[in-house]
Amino acid sequence: MYGLGVLKGMGVTLKHFVETYIEDLKYLGKGKRSVEAFTVRQGLRGKSLGLFTVEYPEEKIAVPERFRFVPFLVINNLDDPDLPGADWCTSCGICAKVCPPQCIWIVRGTDPETGRPKPAPEAFYIDIDICMNCGYCAEFCPFDAIKMDHDYELASYDRIGEHIFDKKKLSKEFRYYRSLYPTLSAEEAEARGGWEHKDVLKAKAKAEKAQSAGAPAQPGR
């Protein structure tokens, strides 16, 4: 029938309209914008009904764990007992190669004593106006060293000064990554063999190997 689609659409709108007031009544005593109401009604847990708007920028809708905006570099926590602030990036260059718009620029570090290249970036730049937030760099990094950030409020009038992120601006502590990605970071730690930096894990594995090699043979084995 002609116009049936229009009627159906209006029915959906009416349903949302009515549900909005029913939901409002549910949170009447608790405050429409109480933490409880806000958490449920902002619509990320599949429990929300009706319409619920937030007053951005004072209020923000929480983003899901898999949300991605521009990348950041993971560094060890600054209070880490073994390697405080160490880069996880080895400057292998894979992320720069796979980046579709080619907005990553890396300068490999050099050992000042030997003059040989070292597995750490001396400089790392990402042009965040060119970045298309695809997440390929994070997907392809073999060292879990580059991840997608949740911070989307990056607008500025200063194109060069503010939108070409250098290593300092890109680097964020491992605890920040864990707080953004509790599930993914746990999966990665399990695959890696621990929460620590790969160099610490390597050193531990080496020490364990040396200890077991030097240990006296167990009787009966």
Nearer of residues 37 and 73 to ligand SF4, judged by Cβ? 73
Site string for ligand SF4, 87-116 (x = CB under 6 A): --xxxxxxx---xxx-xx-x----------
Nearer of residues 9 and 85 to ligand SF4, judged by Cβ? 85
Alpha helices in 4-82 (DSSP H): 4-26, 35-41
* Contacts of ligand SF4 in 54-93 (CB under 6 A): 71, 89-93
The least distance separating ligand SF4 from the CB of residue 187, rounded to whole angstroms, comes to 17
- Interaction between residue 141 and ligand SF4 (CB under 6 A): yes
Site string for ligand SF4, 157-196 (x = CB under 6 A): ----------------------------------------
Going by C-beta distance under 8 Å and a sequence separation of 6 or more, which residues neighbour residue 146?
A: 71, 72, 73, 74, 89, 95, 137, 138
Going by C-beta distance under 8 Å and a sequence separation of 6 or more, which residues neighbour residue 120?
A: 87, 89, 90, 91, 108, 109
Nearer of residues 40 and 70 to ligand SF4, judged by Cβ? 70
CA atoms within 13 A on the CB side of 138: 23
Site for ligand SF4, rule CB under 6 A:
71, 89-95, 99-101, 103-104, 106, 126, 131-137, 141, 143, 145-146
